[in-house]
Amino acid sequence: MDLLANLALGFGVAFSLENLAYCFAGVALGTLIGVLPGVGPLVTIAMLFPITFHLPAVPAIIMLAGIFYGAQYGGSTTSILVNLPGETASAVTCIDGYQMARRGRAGPALATAALASFFAGCVGTLLIALAGPTLGEWALNFGAAEYTSLMLMALVASAVMTQGDSAKGLAMVVLGLLVGVVGVDVNSGMSRYSFGIPELVDGIGFTVVAVGLFAVAEIVVNLESREPREVYTGKVTGLMPTAQDIRDAAWPTVRGTAMGACFGVLPGTGPALSSFATYMLEKKLARDPSRFGSGAIEGVAAPEAANNAAAQTAFIPMLTLGIPASATMAVMLAALTLQGIAAGPQVMLEKPDLFWGLIASMWIGNCLLVVLNLPLVGIWVRLLTVPYRWLFPSIILFCCIGNYSVSNNPFDVYLCAIIGVLGYVLVKLECEPAPLLLGYVLGPLLEENLRRALLIARGDPTVFFTRPLSLVFMIATLLILVIMVAPAARRNRQPK
Amino acid sequence: MKPDLRNNRDFIAGLLFIVLGALAAFLARNYPFGSTMRMGPGYFPTVLGVILLLFGVYVLARGLRSGDKVKGEWGWKPLALIAASIVLFGVLLDRAGMVPAAVVTLVVAAAAGRDFRFKEVLLLAVVMTTFSVVVFSYGLKLPYPLLGSY
């Protein structure tokens, strides 16, 4: 079977000593930084992204993927022990996970989270291996028109489905597209929005935008809030869940995995929505829903499985179509692009070692997570007590060094400060930065495909509605808009 | 009752989008627009600028109606200090070298926190600067002078 041969190739790549070392380094670094309170996966990736910049393509992407799930997992540790989610995806885990910790059951909560994540990770990886090639083959038939409408769908979905309101989300996408315009126009060679500054002719660097929007803005937001944190300082004892725990957690894990796997593929929804949705589902299915919120193990297992499954399947559209479904996947896409690889259906054919090596390394990474997390939990617990006033100056320093090292130019560092200020203002105005990042990453691709599609169609814009696949994407885009915007509009019309 | 616009969340957001959208469309006026069939470099940014402006108008109007306020205080002081620490890093790395740049960045950034303890910050600066020199200069071999300019 093809799949087996491909997986064998993948494991061959991933098990090389070098790649194994990068995978391990990624997972370890990701967990280490992700577990620090107030540092979410996006900040972690944005900060560590420049390190991978100097590596060859395969180890670079393997390491980044490792950082990603390491950080994601580190986030659940903080949720359980500190009641402080690194990102929205693990916010649900706080509810019951932290309660379990307060009742002295931090150990089983952590173990359940790790094992549920591991299970979901395995299933997710398998799904990528199964669905990837099929989807990729299908996508090979896509023309410029299909790509344009697909990107439009992804952008609209990401804007509308993130928390906050849709109008601002859409505006942020447009703003991101405009940021992506900066630099030389590939078709005409004209430089746009560069104000005669030579550094801007190449466009605004990805690290600059990601670090500015997420790391800098988030740090300032954290500094201004005054709520004291209650840190769980007790010892974590009795790691292993009881037989009853395992019985309670088994089905929720499976259901969470299924739900997360579906949500992960959808643009804009990703891990966050899937963990909320599964938590709600488990609460509905539970014989005694009142236990939820006071330390129900299902409330840890299901959302953790869901967000990990979603985190894995989110790779599917990114790897096979070149369309990132979330801000983190946008980082991955940017990493591939910087390595000179155009993500899309061709990657699988032209770079099978990269594609299958990454998939195999995901599975290895998930194993490493369990190995790294359960026995070493004592170290992570101690890291949680590091005060934020030591952390944030260090994060700023690393971001500066990282930014500088990408281009060896102080201009990028200045630009990062400017984008950080803009990012902070936008966050205060409750405009989600994630759609902006997606717009920025997809902008040049969207413009390119839009131009090509209309050139082929001789300027006839109906081309997006006459080609069947493109029509499907357009209808889906409209549906997303109608479903998400209509209730909000109705609510607005009613007098308050 | 006169509505307070200065802290009206959506009013400010809308205004920001309008300004940025208008600016984008205005700056793109010099780029050849082309036609729908053969788009010039000005087509895409102009259209985007106008769309952003329209979203801005909508958000602004909604802000006027709902009057929702910005949550919490604006943290201008930490924002300014963090931004300054980043800019200083860029300025100093070229002219004074990695060690002074790292120390200044750490101290200025730390000043953005609520709880600035001088001795602790000095210790942090020493530890983190050593750490970055070891990792970035010796480990990753980034070619920056530790002290002094290029």
pLDDT digits (tens, 9 = 90+) for A224-235: 765 555 555 556
CB B136 within 8 A of CB B142: yes
If you average pLDDT over every residue of chain A, what do you get? 81
Highest mean pLDDT among A40-49, A74-83, A420-429 belongs to A420-429
Between residues B77 and A385, which one has the greater pLDDT? B77
pLDDT value of position A496: 36
Among candidates A178, A192, A220 on the partner chain, residue whose Cβ is nearest the Cβ of B41:
A192
Give the mean model confidence (pLDDT) for residues A319-323: 83
Classified as helix, coil or strand, A94 is helix
CB B25 within 8 A of CB B19: no
pLDDT value of position A405: 81
Q: Which of B100, B95, B120 is nearest to B110 (CA)?
A: B120
pLDDT value of position B57: 93
When pLDDT is cut at 50, 70 and 90, the band that residue A88 belongs to is low
Pull the structure tokens for residue B37.
Answer: 């069939």
Label the pairing between strands A183-184 and A191-192: antiparallel
pLDDT value of position B1: 43
Q: Cα angle vertex A214, ends A273, A81, to 5°?
A: 60
Task: Judge: B87–A413 Cβ closer than 8 Å, yes or no.
Answer: yes
A40-49, A316-325, A416-425, B121-130, range with the lowest pLDDT: A40-49
pTM above 0.90, yes or no: no
Question: What's the Cα-to-Cα distance from A78 to each of A64, A98, A145, rounded to whole Å?
Answer: 21, 9, 44
Q: Which of A248, A209, A262 is nearest to A49 (CA)?
A: A209
Q: How far is CA A269 from its chain centroid?
A: 10
- B contacts of A399 (beta carbons < 8 Å): 86
Pull the structure tokens for residue B30.
Answer: 């010099």
CB A224 within 8 A of CB A98: no
Task: Judge: B17–A177 Cβ closer than 8 Å, yes or no.
Answer: no
Condensed to tens digits (0 to 9), the pLDDT of residues B35-51 reads: 877 888 888 899 999 99
CB pairs under 8 A between A and B: 200
A136-145, A248-257, A264-273, B23-32, range with the lowest pLDDT: A264-273
- Exposure of A378 by Cβ count < 10 A (0-12 exposed, 13-18 middle, 19+ buried)? exposed
- Exposure of A363 by Cβ count < 10 A (0-12 exposed, 13-18 middle, 19+ buried)? buried
Portion of chain A with pLDDT greater than 90, in percent = 4
When pLDDT is cut at 50, 70 and 90, the band that residue A246 belongs to is confident
DSSP structure class, residue A215:
I
pLDDT value of position B70: 82
Element (H, E) at A192: strand A191-192
pLDDT value of position A164: 66
Give the mean model confidence (pLDDT) for residues A238-267: 78
Spatial CB neighbours of A30, under 8 Å, sequence gap ≥ 6: A41, A44, A45, A48, A66, A67, A68, A69, A70, A71, A72, A73, A74
Condensed to tens digits (0 to 9), the pLDDT of residues A121-132 reads: 889 888 888 888
Give the mean model confidence (pLDDT) for residues A408-422: 90
Give the mean model confidence (pLDDT) for residues A102-110: 79
Give the mean model confidence (pLDDT) for residues A329-347: 81
Give the mean model confidence (pLDDT) for residues A268-281: 73
Highest mean pLDDT among A75-89, A290-304, A464-478 belongs to A464-478
Pull the structure tokens for residue A431.
Answer: 């405009």
- B contacts of A393 (beta carbons < 8 Å): 85, 105-107, 109-110, 113, 121, 124, 128
Q: Which of residues 54-83 of A touch B (CB under 8 A)?
A: 54
The dihedral over CA atoms of B38, B44, B46, B47, expressed in degrees to the nearest 10, equals 100
**Closest Cα in chain A to B117:** A389
When pLDDT is cut at 50, 70 and 90, the band that residue A86 belongs to is low
A193 and chain B in contact, CB less than 8 A? yes
Spatial CB neighbours of B11, under 8 Å, sequence gap ≥ 6: B5, B60, B63, B64
A177 and chain B in contact, CB less than 8 A? yes
pLDDT value of position B58: 92
When pLDDT is cut at 50, 70 and 90, the band that residue A488 belongs to is low
pLDDT value of position A162: 67
Question: What is the ipTM score, two decimals?
Answer: 0.90
B50 and chain A in contact, CB less than 8 A? no
pLDDT beyond 90 at A291: no
Q: Which of A80, A88, A81, A110 is nearest to A41 (CA)?
A: A88
Among A33, A174, A425, the residue to mutate for chain B (most B Cβ within 10 A): A174
Cα–Cα dist B49/B43, whole Å: 10
